[in-house]
Amino acid sequence: MKNYGLISSIVLWALVAIAVIFTITVMTTGNTDTFVSYGMNLTWITFALVVLSSIVGMIINPQTIKGTLIGLGAILLVFAVAYGMSDGSDYELYEVTEGTSRMVSMGLNAFFILGLLAVLSVIYSAVSSIFK
């Protein structure tokens, strides 16, 4: 298949057309359930495609397995640290369970850790390019 660009463009425009139809539906009816379901379905489809392409990439080029496992271990370490930092102490304030509150806190902590690491990597890259 040579026409990956054409196929992806057709799929992209089809998804945009569906999103426009759902947006018009939401604007006319005020019901957001279909739009939210569409977004959730796109998220799961994207997740499945990412996992599938990673697996296919590792099958095609087995040397990348080591790097993939290191990256997966690093993200799991970040999530473990974020979970250790989280607490579910404010669950009564939001009327959710303590476990839900702790998972939300973990997600926020992971976001902050990864954001800080991203900023630090940009600063490191800029500083190291000055000294080269």
Same domain, 125 and 74: yes
Same domain, 12 and 66: no
Of 112 and 34, the structure prediction assigns the larger pLDDT to 112
Tally of domains in the chain: 2
Same domain, 71 and 132: yes
Same domain, 42 and 100: no
Percent of the chain with pLDDT over 70: 97
CA dihedral 48, 50, 56, 61 (to 10 degrees): -160
C-alpha count within 13 angstroms, C-beta hemisphere, residue 130: 5
Residue with tokens 């604007």: 27
* CA gap 34, 40 in Å, rounded: 10
Same domain, 69 and 48: no
Q: 10 vs 5, 15, 40, 53, 56, CA distance in Å?
A: 9, 9, 21, 19, 23
pLDDT at 4: 66
Same domain, 90 and 66: yes
pLDDT at 3: 66
The overall average pLDDT reported for the chain is 87
pLDDT at 117: 96
pLDDT at 112: 97
Same domain, 56 and 41: yes
Please state the rounded mean pLDDT for residues 13-36.
Answer: 82
Same domain, 53 and 100: no
Amino acid at position 47, single letter? F
Same domain, 109 and 46: no
Is the pLDDT assigned to residue 90 strictly greater than 60? yes
For residue 54, which of 43, 69, 44, 39 has the smallest C-alpha distance?
A: 69
Domain that holds residue 22: 1-60
Query: If pLDDT is split at 50, 70 and 90, which confidence band does 2 have?
Result: low
Of 111 and 32, the structure prediction assigns the larger pLDDT to 111
pTM, to two decimals: 0.64
Same domain, 78 and 107: yes
Boundary residue ending a domain (10, 37, 60): 60
* DSSP result, 7-56: HHHHHHHHHHHHHHHHHHHHHHH---HHHHHHHHHHHHHHHHHHHHHHHH
